[in-house]
Amino acid sequence: MKRWVVALAVFGVAGCGTPVAGRAVPGELPAAPDTGVVRWVNNFCAVADYMIASGGVQFDPPTGDPAQAKKAVSESLGRVVDVLNVVLHDLDELTPAPEPAADTAVEVIREPLGRARDEFAKAKSTVDGAPELTVEVYSSAIQDMTEAVAVMNDAVEKMGVVSLPDDYRDAAGHAENCA
Q: What is the pLDDT of residue 91?
A: 93
Would 82 be classed as within a structural domain? yes
- 40 in a structural domain: no
pLDDT-flagged residues of the chain (< 70): 1-32, 55-63
Domain residues for 102? Answer: 64-164
Question: What's residue 5's pLDDT?
Answer: 37
Question: CA angle, 76 as apex, 56 and 119 as ends, to 5°?
Answer: 100
Q: What is the reported pLDDT for 60?
A: 64
Residue 118 lies in a domain: yes
Instruction: Quote the pTM value.
Output: 0.75
- The CATH number of whichever domain residue 114 belongs to comes to 1.20.1270
62 within 8 A of 75, measured Cβ to Cβ: no
Quote the pLDDT of residue 30: 53
Question: Among residues 20, 149, 6, 29, which one has the least CA distance to residue 77?
Answer: 149
Percent of the chain with pLDDT over 90: 38
Indicate the number of domains in the chain.
Answer: 1
- Confirm if 87 and 113 have CB atoms less than 8 A apart: yes
Burial pattern 5-42, b for ≥16 Cβ within 10 A else e, equals eeeeeeeeeeeeeeeeeeeeeeeeeeeebeeebbebbb
- 2 located within any domain: no
Is residue 121 assigned to a domain? Answer: yes
The reply to whether 147 falls in a domain is: yes
